Amino acid sequence: MSATRVLVLNSGSSSVKYQLLDMRDSSRLAAGLVERIGEQSSRLKHTPLATGGDPREWTGPIADHDAALKAVSEELSKDGLGLDSPELVAIGHRVVHGGKTFTEPTVIDETVLAEIERLIPVAPLHNPANLTGIRTARALRPDLPQVAVFDTAFHTTMPESAARYAIDVATADAHRIRRYGFHGTSHAYVSRATAKLLGKAPEDVNVIVLHLGNGASASAVRGGRCVDTSMGLTPLEGLVMGTRSGDTDPAVIFHLARVGKMSIDEIDTLLNKKSGLVGLCGDNDMREIQRRIDEGDEQAELAFDIYIHRLKKYIGAYYAVLGTVDAIAFTAGVGENAAPVREAAVAGLETLGPAVDRELNAVRSDEPRLISPADARVKVAVVPTDEELEIATQTYALVSRH
Ligand code: ADP
């Protein structure tokens, strides 16, 4: 196959993020973002990485996703990389929810679109936006293979014992209630990159991956396959996040409804948007929280401690799930950058095997690296995630086989 370029699209309800990659060497040719689609002040930011030119920004009305994608194509065309280029071999779409159906990246056809649509009730915010992005791209290049890469796919290997909630089976099945997990593309990429860092095949290592961004999730990966993850039916379950509570007693919801007289929508907003770090201390950016802690702010310190306590509980749980652990890998905005979070999360776990070397932990780098002392029985790694590269790699691998 001569064409080697893959466009990766991540379509939100009012935004589109994109990257164009050349899969001959996995290099990035361009990257950008369209925001505030549908408003008067939509913004397009385009970085022409292939030419090394300066980022170009444009503000003005972009009515819908169709107009957004056309604007992106125009920007790409300025460097000879437009959507009409014969070098473009496929478009890879990030799709948040693939349910139980989609265990692998999938070439999109009408049946696939219908199934993604059928999953809207379990992903009401994300799947409609992803579908809009796919339909728009298909209309622009109907001849081009388009591939859906699902956030849930990596977690479909979880055994039933981890994937099911202990609630009435008939009710759960009728409403497709189970633990799906998210951030799967990142967990897949990072667990494999961690194995590589250890000089081993993914099949030969057990890894605990801690994806700590604004959203955060942990996963237990045995021999390259996910056996448990902290997010569930939705991304609300699990770790303390920027604005999400993570685990709470479900009875908190009944209590807020019955006693607090809050509506279901208000509780949804409370737990998803006004909880986690922002609910605990008013800030969801770990940099700001660290700055406040350095100034002696007790509220910020408590928020940090609650965040770390939950993280430790999941590390402990995944030790028990995996039996033996070769490495703990930190990734995403907080995991890649916040040395104090990494140090605190692993502190006191030395008898289990992992340890963090202070000097190595303080090093700033974009490269995957070990931050544990050479003699640590369990390695601790920092592995920058790259979901776009993973989507492009999976897309290219799939269309190359066809
Ligand atoms: P998402 O993709 O979920 O929006 P990211 O993975 O980009 O999130 O992570 C964003 C978060 O990373 C920010 O909210 C901030 O808390 C954290 N972060 C980014 N840079 C740093 C840094 N240098 N130190 C500490 N935290 C950081």
Residues 206, 137 share a domain: no
- DSSP 8-state symbol, 235: T
Per-residue model confidence (pLDDT) at position 2:
78
In a domain, 287, yes or no: yes
In a domain, 397, yes or no: no
Instruction: Check pocket membership of 242 for ligand 1, CB cut-off 6 A.
Output: yes
Mutate to test the pocket of ligand 1, among 334, 363, 364, 382 (most ligand atoms within 8 A of CB): 334
The residue contributing the CA closest to ligand 1 atom 21 is: 337
In a domain, 156, yes or no: no
Residues 110, 44 share a domain: yes
- Distance from the CA of 385 to the center of ligand 1, in angstroms? 12
Spatial CA neighbour of 334 closest among 211, 212, 183: 212
Kindly report the backbone phi and psi dihedral angles of residue 78, in degrees, each rounded to the nearest multiple of 5, phi listed first: -60, -25
Instruction: Check pocket membership of 384 for ligand 1, CB cut-off 6 A.
Output: no
Distance, in Å, from the CA atom of 16 to the CA atom of 259, rounded to the nearest integer, reads 41
Distance, in Å, from the CA atom of 237 to the CA atom of 162, rounded to the nearest integer, reads 13
Residues 345, 210 share a domain: yes
| CATH code of the domain in which 126 resides | 3.30.420.40
For residue 207, give the 3-state DSSP assignment: strand
Distance, in Å, from the CA atom of 51 to the CA atom of 224, rounded to the nearest integer, reads 37
Binding residues for ATP are 17, 211-215, 285-287, 333-337
Instruction: Check pocket membership of 12 for ligand 1, CB cut-off 6 A.
Output: no
Mutate to test the pocket of ligand 1, among 35, 151, 288, 337 (most ligand atoms within 8 A of CB): 337
Residues 269, 330 share a domain: yes
Per-residue model confidence (pLDDT) at position 356:
97
Distance, in Å, from the CA atom of 299 to the CA atom of 280, rounded to the nearest integer, reads 7
In a domain, 19, yes or no: yes
Instruction: Give kind and range of the element (H or E) at residue 294.
Output: helix 286-294
Full strand arrangement of the beta sheet holding 369-370: 225-229, 216-222, 206-212, 327-331, 379-382, 369-370
Residues 342, 205 share a domain: yes
Give Cα 305 to chain centroid, integer Å: 24
Q: Which of 120, 150, 180 is the last residue of a domain?
A: 150
Low-confidence ranges of the chain (pLDDT < 50): none
- Distance from the CA of 34 to the center of ligand 1, in angstroms? 20
Q: Which residues have CB under 8 Å from 120's CB, separation 6+? A: 127, 128
Distance, in Å, from the CA atom of 317 to the CA atom of 26, rounded to the nearest integer, reads 36
Number of structural domains (the chain) is 2
For residue 200, give the 3-state DSSP assignment: coil
Tens digits of per-residue pLDDT, 162-219? 999 999 999 999 999 999 999 999 999 999 999 999 999 999 999 999 999 999 999 9
Residues 91, 12 share a domain: yes
Catalytic residue list contains 22: no
Instruction: Check pocket membership of 246 for ligand 1, CB cut-off 6 A.
Output: no
Distance, in Å, from the CA atom of 146 to the CA atom of 306, rounded to the nearest integer, reads 42
Residues 234, 133 share a domain: no
Instruction: Check pocket membership of 197 for ligand 1, CB cut-off 6 A.
Output: no
Residues 360, 252 share a domain: yes
In a domain, 127, yes or no: yes
In a domain, 302, yes or no: yes
Kindly report the backbone phi and psi dihedral angles of residue 199, in degrees, each rounded to the nearest multiple of 5, phi listed first: 75, 25
Q: Which of 127, 150, 173 is the last residue of a domain?
A: 150
- Distance from the CA of 333 to the center of ligand 1, in angstroms? 3
Q: Which of 22, 151, 283, 326 is catalytic?
A: 151
Q: Which of 150, 167, 188 is the last residue of a domain?
A: 150
Residues 371, 301 share a domain: yes
In a domain, 182, yes or no: no
For 73-114, give the DSSP string.
HHHHHTTT--TT-TTEEEEEEEES--TTT--S-EE--HHHHH
Residues 91, 9 share a domain: yes
Instruction: Check pocket membership of 129 for ligand 1, CB cut-off 6 A.
Output: no
Contact 314, 303 (CB under 8 A): no
- DSSP 8-state symbol, 55: P
Range(s) of the domain holding residue 372: 200-387
- Distance from the CA of 383 to the center of ligand 1, in angstroms? 14
Distance, in Å, from the CA atom of 6 to the CA atom of 22, rounded to the nearest integer, reads 6
pTM confidence score: 0.94
Residues 277, 143 share a domain: no
Residues 205, 103 share a domain: no
- Distance from the CA of 211 to the center of ligand 1, in angstroms? 11
In a domain, 225, yes or no: yes
Instruction: Check pocket membership of 337 for ligand 1, CB cut-off 6 A.
Output: yes
Tens digits of per-residue pLDDT, 259-299? 999 999 999 999 999 999 999 999 999 999 999 999 999 99
